[in-house]
Structure 1
Amino acid sequence: MRSCVKAGTVKRVVLTSSTAAISSRPLEGDGHVLDEDSWSDVDYLRATKSGTWVRTAYPASKVLAEKAAMAFAEEKGLSLVTVCPVVVVGGAPATNVKTSVPEVLSLLSGDDDMVDNLELIEKASGSIPLVHIDDVCRAEIFAAEEATSGRYIVCTLNTTAVALAHFLAAKYPQYEINDDRIGHLPEKPRVSIWSDKLIKEGFEYKYKNLDEIYDDLVVYGRTLGLLKY
């Protein structure tokens, strides 16, 4: 951002953050709806250091980075837009994946460690919010060229591990899905992360439901060898 100021020709900076900077806060009960005005609670995260890195340090770092960028942009007169994606999945050129793809395919692959990670995602977010990578890329371009200002959540849908298990068992009966591991989790999201601001400004998602997301994701999982067939 200092280089952008020095150049004097940059019209807009797009910062990619995460909804980890939005949803990591103490929320009692169910039915919560979070939007761009919501911020993860850094003090709360610092007080719960016993949690995993992804549940404490990661969201705290995202909040601090966003707020530092916003303060710098305001001081220097830069146009800054922040994109906050949820759990990103979908096919990519990478053949060795360290992203959320193995977690979201874990109910099909039967990878117990990845199922544990899927449960951690739900516990940290209050749901399993999903978006396809193609839509994140398109949202980045939209943020650069057409968005007005501020933060933009990029989220297609909010689901749960239990709801995913039911959906996947019906769509892919050839896989033996063991839902005993997640049976204690709620069937409906405790927290929903809304992407209304992006849509109201004219953005349209390409992948709009679980069917479309998993059609692509399962093919990618087979290419990676995460799924046998």
Structure 2
Amino acid sequence: MIGNCYPIAGDASKVRFLKSLPYADTRLVLFQAEIYNPDDFDHAIIGCETVLHLVTPKRHIENSQFKNITDAALAAVKSAATSSIQSGTVKRLIYTSSLSAAYPVKIDGCGFKDFVDETCWTPPNLSFPFPDDNYKDHVNSKTSVEKEILSYDGKLDVVTLTCGLPGGETILNHAPGNMWVCISQFTDRKEAYNALKFVEDFLGIIPVVHVDDACEAHIFCMENPSISGRFFCPSGYVSTADIANYFQKNYP
């Protein structure tokens, strides 16, 4: 996005690697913010034309004002949406969602759809053998927040992008967590493999997307003169067996 002439605001500790990119010295603006302090986002949003909401808490902060990560995430997105509307400059709010919000159960709750698309929503209080409460909390959070943010459509353009498991090259000096998930069958990282298997068990398939394509999808939604609603952007669907067979064939 910096290369496409967009100024970026963010947490310095999380985007430090961006400072090495061309034009970062003039297009990168950093703000200190904490998702458990939803009012922190107001000063970062003022003056913007487009707001991209990418963050979801992974672990609950004990003794906070919120009872769980869903409450914290909802408060943050409500604050971001309200600040966007009141700013007078923001025209579009883009939220990065997750396919965990798209459990392909039929509307009557009996059986599953033959496909996963924008009509699929994970029902509240879903009866599913989650590996632990963290997975359950994440699914509830992503689903609740995506529905909440879409409720602001009409007051400004709201777009939600439901991405698959991202993979591909990185400019980081280490492999990010999502990459460890992608290659977890060939490592000793049990937690990463459990995450991969959960996606397959939950959806019946693993939606994947190249990180470059996910970034381009966000930029497309920024630049399109008229767009709103919910969009899926996986570029393919694979199984754990497909991944294993690919690596066995190409990297024996």
TM-score (norm 2): 0.59
1:25 Cα deviation after fit: 4.8
* Partner in structure 2 of residue 15 of structure 1: 95
**Maintained 8 Å contact 1:88/1:131:** yes
Tell me, yes or no, if the aligned pair for 1:15 and 1:82 is still in contact at 8 Å. Answer: yes
CA distance in 1, matches of 2:234, 2:194: 22
**Cα contact 1:24–1:55 (8 A) shared by 2:** no
How many angstroms does 1:134 deviate by? Answer: 0.6
Tell whether the 8 Å contact from 2:104 to 2:116 is kept in structure 1 after alignment.
no
Query: What is the rounded CA distance, in whole Å, between the counterparts of 1:52 and 1:120 in structure 2?
Result: 11
Change (3 A) 1:6 1:96: same
Matching residue of 1:155: 234
Return the alpha-carbon distance in structure 1 between the equivalents of residues 193 and 111 of structure 2.
Answer: 24
The verdict on how the C-alpha distance between 1:167 and 1:30 changes in structure 2, with shifts beyond 3 A counting, is farther
Structure 2 CA distance, aligned partners of 1:49 and 1:166?
A: 27
Counterpart amino acid of residue 85 in structure 2: V
Stretch deviating more after TM superposition (136-145 or 9-18): 9-18
**Residues 79-158 of structure 1 correspond to what in structure 2 (within 5 A)?**
79-109=157-187, 111-146=189-224, 148-158=227-237
Q: Which residue of 1 aligns with 2:69?
A: none
Residue 172 of structure 1, CA deviation: 0.8
Name the amino acid aligned to 2:122.
S
Out of 39, 57, 60, the position equivalent to 2:140 is 60
Query: Match of 1:40?
Result: 122
Aligned partner letter, 2:100: A
Specify the SS of the correspondent of 2:125. Answer: helix
Structure 1 gap segments, 5+ residues each? 174-229
Separation in structure 2 between the aligned mates of residue 57 and residue 24 of structure 1, nearest angstrom: 18
What whole-Å deviation, never above 9, does each CA across 1:189-223 have from its counterpart, x for those lacking one? xxxxxxxxxxxxxxxxxxxxxxxxxxxxxxxxxxx
Superposed CA deviations along residues 162-193 of structure 1, whole A, max 9, x for unmatched, are 121112111111xxxxxxxxxxxxxxxxxxxx
The yes-or-no answer on 1:3 pairing with 2:83 is yes
The CA deviation at 1:38 is: 1.0
Could you say what the CA RMSD is over the residues aligned between the two structures, in angstroms?
A: 2.6
8 Å CA contact 1:24, 1:59 repeated in 2:
no
Shift of 1:121: 2.3
Aligned partner (choices 51, 67, 73) of residue 153 of structure 2: 73
2:115 aligned counterpart, secondary structure = strand
Q: What is residue 169 of structure 1 aligned with on the other side?
A: 248
The code of the aligned residue for 1:4 comes to: S
CA distance in 1, matches of 2:195, 2:146: 25
1:119 to 1:50, Cα distance in 2 relative to 1, 3 A = closer
Instruction: Give the counterpart letter for 1:36 in structure 2.
Output: E
SS in structure 1 at match of 2:198: helix
Contact 2:105–2:111 (CA<8 Å) still a contact in 1? no
Q: Secondary structure at the match of 2:118?
A: coil
Which runs of structure 2 are paired with 1:183-198 in the superposition (5 Å)?
none
Structure 2's unaligned 5+ residue stretches are 1-80
Q: Give the Å deviation of 1:49.
A: 7.8
Aligned equivalents of 2:143, 2:178: Cα separation in 1: 21
Secondary structure of 1:135's counterpart equals helix
How many residue pairs are counted as aligned between the two chains? 169
Deviation at 1:112, TM superposition (A): 4.7
Q: Does the 8 A contact of 1:83 with 1:143 survive in 2?
A: no
Q: TM-score, normalised by structure 1?
A: 0.64
